[in-house]
Amino acid sequence: MRTQVAIVGAGPAGLLLGRLLERRGIDTLIIEQRDRDYVLGRIRAGVLEHETADMLDQAGIGKRMRAEGLVHDGIELCFDGERHRLDLRALVDRHVIVYGQTEVTADLMRAREQTGARIVYGAEDVMPLDFGGSQPRLRYTENGISHEVACDFIAGCDGFHGICRQSVPDNAITSFERIYPFGWLGVLVDQPPVAPELIYAHHARGFALCSMRSNTRSRYYVQVPSDDSVENWSDDRFWDELRARLSPETAECLQTGISIEKSIAPLRSFVAEPMRFGRMFLAGDAAHIVPPTGAKGLNLAASDVRYLADALIEYYEEKSTSGIDGYSERALRRVWKAERFSWWMTSLLHVFPESGGFGRRIQRAEFDYLTTSLAAAQSLAENYTGLPV
């Protein structure tokens, strides 16, 4: 079997890369370890930067996003009950769109299925081979039968625990990581959102976030210790804790219900350098992880894909290697800016056990600065809605 670009991973990064290349006549094969239902069942955030939404339009799959996505012109910050709205539109003339990552994945899957482009679900023993030379290969097993794919390039879009980064020799890659001493306990509920825009709340008890998936489905989070367990949290306990961390006005408006999904997500900052190894490239969570506080995970994967798709299209259409040669450096510049912003938002809004009273006073001073300085507010808005790709 042969293809031009073998893509490992059928999440948004892998599917979007396949879509962009397919529309320029470049043959791709996507290999996914999980089955289709599992991929679609993963619960992920869905705040799309301005340019990510434009990229989905350019990929020809933005119609449902534009019809069903929720355009947000601002966000609300809350510190110990004191509320302040940041008007993103007024500050930087941009907005974000709330549209679940599951919906993005579904749109991309549907588009690929409609064109008949190849995708393998349930692949086992996936292994990239010989990517340091000129003839890389991808080996996998499907239904007990071993297959080998010859290709020009391998794109590792297989997530933080994927095989592609693990296949790189230790002496060829450097990792940078910070693991935070807390996680996010998230609850999904079929109730209208408590507010029309996202609320990021800092409280002495910990961080809280009020988000949504639609006008009838809400997603709420509270900061919990990293070693906590979902079993410790009944629905009633969660709602009581969430109310305690919000302003009294917001807490009074909160509509609760039986959770339809409840989970704890650990928080970490992680970057692997470089993002190219011969003829294999890493993109998305395979190369970097950001805390979800800045809403950068999916958007950062999309910008990786934009850079990589442009580089591969240039290689095939113009016979130039300049794009693929510069991919890692170009992508990492944006990665580290997103890492900085996500770390900063996390530092501003969460309670760190080691910080004590001094740390909270610094956070309070930062909040006061954000709410009184146009330059500070514009900086947050610029980063939140997305730096130029």
**Is 72 annotated as catalytic?**
yes
The secondary structure of 278-340 as a DSSP string is: TTEEE-GGGTEE--GGGS-HHHHHHHHHHHHHHHHHHHHHH---HHHHHHHHHHHHHHHHHHH
Helix (H) or strand (E) segment spanning residue 382: helix 374-385
The CB density around residue 80, as the number of other CB atoms within 10 Å, is 15
200 labelled catalytic: yes
Which residue is catalytic, options 12, 136, 193, 292? 292
Contact 238, 306 (CB under 8 A): no
Q: Are strands 199-202 and 208-212 parallel, antiparallel or unpaired?
A: antiparallel
Reply yes or no on whether 384 is catalytic: yes
Rounded to the nearest 5 percent, the helix, strand and coil shares of the chain are 40, 30, 30
Q: Which of 99, 200, 220, 327 is catalytic?
A: 200
Residue closest to 9 by CA, chosen among 141, 161, 130, 131: 161
Out of 12, 50, 72, 291, the active site residue is 72
**39: closest CA among 136, 105, 119?**
105
Q: Which of 202, 203, 288, 296 is catalytic?
A: 296
Closest by Cα among 20, 6, 75, 109 to 304: 20
**Shortest CA distance to 120 belongs to which of 146, 96, 85?**
146
Q: Name the one residue in this structure whose structure tokens are 């592609």.
A: 164
In one-letter notation, the amino acid at residue 205 is R
Residues taking part in catalysis: 72, 200, 292, 296, 384
